[in-house]
Structure 1
Amino acid sequence: MKKVPYGISNFQTIREQNYLYVDKSKYIEILENEPPYQFFIRPRKFGKSLFLSMIENYYDINKAEKFEELFKDLYIGLNPTERRNQYLVLYINFSNLVVSEGKERFIESFDNCVLSAAKEFLAKYDKFFQDKDILNESKGAEIVINKIISLTNTTNKKMFIIIDEYDNFANDLISCGNKNLYYEVISSEGYVRTFYKTIKTGTAFCVERIFITGVSPIMLDDLTSGFNITINLTLENNVNEMLGFNEEEIRSILKEYKIDEMFDLETVLKDMKKYYDGYLFSKFSKNRVYNPSLSLYFIQNIIKNKVYPENLLDMNIKTDYRKLENMAFNFRDEEIVKKLILGEEISTKLVEKFNLEYMYDKKENFVSLLYYMGMLTIHNTYFDKYIMAIPNYAVRTIYWEYFIEKFQEKSKLLVEDEMLFDAVNNMASNGKITLFNEYLKNFISVLSNRDLMQFNEKSVKMILISFFINGIYLVNSEFEVEGGYIDIFLSSNKAYDKYINYEWVIELKYIKESEKDKFEEVKNQGLEQLQRYKCSSKLEHASNKSKKYLLIIVIGKKHVECIEL
């Protein structure tokens, strides 16, 4: 059985050490039919580095003797192009630049990054060069890249320049609020833009192909005047599935690891679809893709432990997303965040490149940035508008945790404590709501007047969701059944399946203090809705757990009634 390639981004290692490889080599042929200077972005942990490693191995002139070993059973091995193993490949990764210690330290780290890549390039292709010491006295990324291009031009060979994480330092600068340094290094005569201008000059000589990746188009507008040669392939239909796994690939992986001998295969597919699928990168495509890193994390866990992972979101990926989240939420557009938390969709025009000076002025910039980061995806389109939604359950938990943090900062209330833990456990194992009822009443009773301003049904729903997201339930907001949309359906987290005897269907109602005489009418309406849900075949087949039905009515700002059907 092949090893699970979780966290492995070196193509040669995967091919030589019996790791599973999902064949993406057909996209080499597709990319060759596009203009040669290419720009492509995808969210964090979406397989960019592995893909770059694959194309580096394919085009590297030094890897010609290894071509059969590395590619023999892949699409491109059976259908090689004329450009295979024809280039001197310069690979630069900008993921580790220093941004927190000022301009001089940043430039030093930028220079060292480029110099290190250049030295590796010269060492790798030393047989082609006469002057091995050309970089000994060189200082500055612009000078170094210019010398490498000039030297390669004397060899009668062509260069392929690959740049990974082109925007990493920009994202970090914006996230920590250091816009001044960003403007300095990316301005018309700024250090970074000058570096890219030099690469552009090289395209008139030996630089035949360029491929640049990152997670956002955050620098694209600012670079354009000096580097206006790349085609942006990010939204193109023919590369929609270039990174990530489609459903057929996920099914194939599960069969490879004999998951069907441990679990019902269709159930696992259904669960993975809910947790990790949903990404659509082109409005012209119909096929959605799964986050590959999260999918492999999940599969590795169930192979090793024969049970679903307790945390559906890999902590390594969670850390990466939180860094991006800090940048995105600099917009402070809480209304959009609230809508997304409640499962609503957002209509927007998609911004294809940002100018930092105007970035925070428009709502569509915020939504577009969330899309590029993988925190939103295309749900549908309408004329020139994109209808955006959260792609899957794993990403949704990031929004919920963000809400909890902000809510706790404002209210000084702690959402998680032992009483809540016991209350939720009692609901799951015994089907009893006594402790939860008490907890909810106590929680709302101590909310401040500031917390209770504009208090409504949506406010109650967000608070309730925050109670359950880190527990043993999966929270399904606006769960669609034949009888309508369930406000909250608490389905079991299969990592804790043996402890859960009951799942909960919750209907929420809010009555203004001035309209409390409508209580009986609202109660009857809520109970009638629950009765309809109870007859739902979709809900019945959602799992084999016993279902409990709960109506929660909040009256005014302090009074709570929990009524079980």
Structure 2
Amino acid sequence: MKKLPIGIQTFADIRTDTYCYVDKTPLIARLVEQGRFYFLSRPRRFGKSLLLDTLAQAFSGNKELFQGLYLENNWDWKVTHPVITIDFAQGILTSRQQLNTIIEDIIQQHATAAEIVLAPHDEVQLLFAQLIRELHQKTGQQVVVLVDEYDKPILDNITDRDKAAELREGLRNIYSVLKAQGAHLHFVMLTGVSKFSKVSLFSGLNNLEDITLDSRFGSLCGYTQKELETGFAEYLEGVDLRQVKKWYNGYNFLGEPVYNPFDILLYFRNREFRPYWFETGTPSFLIRMLMERKLFIPELENLTADEELLSSFDVDYIAAESLLFQTGYLTITGKEQLFDEEYVYHLGFPNHEVRKSLTGSILHWYTHELSPLKNNQVSLFKALRDNNFAGMEKIFHAFFASIPHDWYRKNELAGYEGYYCSVVYCYFAALGLDVQPEDVTNHGRIDLTVRFEKRVYIVEFKVNELTKPGCALEQIKRKKYAEKYQGQGKEIWLIGVEFSRTERNISRFGWEKA
């Protein structure tokens, strides 16, 4: 098989030294044909750097790298453009001075490569502007600017608002050059994880087209199902495609759903289902925010947001929905029109990997002890397998007892049903079970429905101090929640769980077969 063209989303088989690749160059051709100034937000490890590498090689005229690809015969190879690449992926910057030093070094490297001598400037943005003008003048062709991880200096310091704001101002000075030097620019593209508001970071850069939620380019990064099955056909023998889809597909940017390339490449290398993407990042800041804002964790299955909320992100205020979507822990599961061309988007977990891993991380956050948690999860699985309700009660009781007393001093969550429901939900979801929170019936909403093998568990939660004893199980029966699952050939079990907010633990755990 032909060796891979640089910058194409690929999988290299280290055993045979052969290569598979997915050709994204038809979309790249459309991108260049239909505009000049672009912004694209995608989660980490989604192929953004490869996309910019491909653009850089095409604009530089390296036709030999595109043999057999769409772009080979659909690109003007007679014209080349000087390319400026700025990459913030390497290292962590903690000050405006460090930022300016890095940018100045990048600018000087490009100037040296082009044999251009730049006049010294105290302001790095003036040096950047001079480089663009000099390259245009020397080559006679407008310049291409590609910025990778444009937001990383800010995100690396997001927990320190003052420091993040300082770096934001430094980046804004740099990006303002792209507007002022528009006459010298042929093509500009910025990529990153987050979408900062235009007011805060792109002030004046009103010609930057955001294609993050543009259906034309929804699969620009990532693999579609068809691309997976055709591009990796020789590696699919013995592969359960349904399981692959369940684990790794599901990211939706208003186009066809896509797989995260990082997951797929490592799965084909290792032939083992693991949370490859999730393990490359620690969502501690995200989980801390979810806890501080008392977000009902089962709601992550179905949040609602408008496009403005999904596309807004700033140092001064970060919406949970925006952060979850932009970082890839939630994706779009539906689009609903309201009125006058107004739309809302429904969000949910993209796939099994994220749902299982994030809920497991939230459980770990409660106790900060990983080993007992894993042991409890194994015990819970065995209790479910054996239909051992007393065992389930013991496991959950032990977990709530393990949450440090100091944790409750920071909040009043122990008095709310939602807190206890969130913990139990996370336990089941982290096991990878089929869990449905807020399960709608014609008589009301079931707090939690869990499907395991040939059984359905209907669970209701209550807080003692707010109700009378025994009311959790009684409500399931009174509202006839079991009717929804009758006739499906499954055993139906009713579980009423009651908590004491003074004891911060289970006070009653009742069950019976429907």
Using structure 1 for the length normalisation, give the TM-score.
0.73
What residue number does 2:248 align with? 276
Structural mapping, 1:112-261, within 5 Å: 112-116=105-109, 118=110, 122-123=112-113, 126=114, 132=115, 134=117, 141-152=124-135, 153-174=137-158, 176-177=159-160, 179-187=161-169, 191-205=170-184, 207-218=185-196, 220-253=198-231, 255-259=233-237
| AA of the residue aligned to 2:280 | T
Match status 1:453 vs 2:403: no
Q: Name which of structure 1's ranges 392-401 and 428-437 shifts more when overlaid on structure 2.
A: 428-437
Where is the helix percentage greater, Structure 1 or Structure 2?
1
| AA of the residue aligned to 1:150 | R
The 1-side partners of 2:439 and 2:235 are apart by 33
Please say if residues 194 and 313 of structure 2, whose CA atoms lie closer than 8 Å, have aligned partners that are also in contact: no
The 1-side partners of 2:6 and 2:425 are apart by 36
The change in CA–CA distance for 1:475 and 1:92 in structure 2 (over 3 A counts) is: same
What residue number does 2:468 align with? 515
The 1-side partners of 2:495 and 2:437 are apart by 15
What residue number does 1:551 align with? 494
| AA of the residue aligned to 1:225 | S
The 2-side partners of 1:505 and 1:356 are apart by 43
The 1-side partners of 2:12 and 2:53 are apart by 11
Post-superposition shift, 1:531?
7.7
The 1-side partners of 2:168 and 2:38 are apart by 20
The change in CA–CA distance for 1:26 and 1:536 in structure 2 (over 3 A counts) is: same
What residue number does 1:75 align with? 70
What residue number does 2:29 align with? 29
Please say if residues 8 and 23 of structure 2, whose CA atoms lie closer than 8 Å, have aligned partners that are also in contact: no
The 1-side partners of 2:151 and 2:450 are apart by 40
The 2-side partners of 1:109 and 1:72 are apart by 35
| AA of the residue aligned to 1:280 | N
| AA of the residue aligned to 1:426 | K
Secondary structure, counterpart of 2:57 in structure 1 = helix
Secondary structure, counterpart of 1:279 in structure 2 = coil
Post-superposition shift, 1:18?
3.7
Secondary structure, counterpart of 2:433 in structure 1 = strand
1:99 is matched with which residue: 62, 75, 93?
93
Secondary structure, counterpart of 2:223 in structure 1 = coil
Please say if residues 408 and 415 of structure 1, whose CA atoms lie closer than 8 Å, have aligned partners that are also in contact: no
- Which consecutive unaligned segments of at least 5 residues does structure 1 have? 127-131, 303-307, 492-501, 538-546
The 2-side partners of 1:40 and 1:503 are apart by 45
Please say if residues 44 and 321 of structure 1, whose CA atoms lie closer than 8 Å, have aligned partners that are also in contact: no
- Which consecutive unaligned segments of at least 5 residues does structure 2 have? 501-506
The 2-side partners of 1:13 and 1:369 are apart by 28
Please say if residues 481 and 533 of structure 1, whose CA atoms lie closer than 8 Å, have aligned partners that are also in contact: no
Using structure 2 for the length normalisation, give the TM-score.
0.80
Structural mapping, 1:344-355, within 5 Å: 344-351=302-309, 354=312
The 2-side partners of 1:327 and 1:419 are apart by 25
Match status 1:487 vs 2:448: yes
The change in CA–CA distance for 1:512 and 1:91 in structure 2 (over 3 A counts) is: closer
The 2-side partners of 1:548 and 1:400 are apart by 27
What residue number does 2:504 align with? none
The 2-side partners of 1:167 and 1:459 are apart by 34
Post-superposition shift, 1:221?
2.7
Post-superposition shift, 1:47?
1.1
The change in CA–CA distance for 1:423 and 1:28 in structure 2 (over 3 A counts) is: closer
What residue number does 1:540 align with? none
Secondary structure, counterpart of 1:516 in structure 2 = coil
Please say if residues 222 and 258 of structure 2, whose CA atoms lie closer than 8 Å, have aligned partners that are also in contact: yes
> For each residue in 1:430-474, what CA deviation from the matched residue of structure 2 results, as whole angstroms up to 9, or x when unmatched?
554553333234445787787773342x44432223334555x43
Tell me how many residue pairs correspond in the alignment: 490
> For each residue in 1:282-335, what CA deviation from the matched residue of structure 2 results, as whole angstroms up to 9, or x when unmatched?
3xx4x2222222233333332xxxxx42x3x21x5433362xx62696586634
2:359 is matched with which residue: 400, 407, 413?
400
Please say if residues 196 and 311 of structure 2, whose CA atoms lie closer than 8 Å, have aligned partners that are also in contact: yes
1:367 is matched with which residue: 321, 329, 341?
321
Q: Which segments of structure 1 move beyond 6 Å, counting only runs of 4 or more?
A: 12-17, 136-140, 445-452, 479-486
Please say if residues 347 and 386 of structure 1, whose CA atoms lie closer than 8 Å, have aligned partners that are also in contact: yes
Please say if residues 439 and 448 of structure 2, whose CA atoms lie closer than 8 Å, have aligned partners that are also in contact: no
> For each residue in 1:231-286, what CA deviation from the matched residue of structure 2 results, as whole angstroms up to 9, or x when unmatched?
22222221111111222122324533133xx24xxxx333233322222223xx4x
The 2-side partners of 1:486 and 1:510 are apart by 7
The 2-side partners of 1:488 and 1:418 are apart by 23
Post-superposition shift, 1:164?
0.8
Secondary structure, counterpart of 1:45 in structure 2 = coil
Structural mapping, 1:251-400, within 5 Å: 251-253=229-231, 255-259=233-237, 262-263=238-239, 268-282=240-254, 285=255, 287-302=256-271, 308-309=272-273, 311=274, 313-314=275-276, 317-320=278-281, 322=283, 326=285, 330=289, 334-341=293-300, 343-351=301-309, 354=312, 356=314, 359-360=317-318, 365-378=319-332, 379-383=334-338, 384-390=342-348, 391-400=350-359
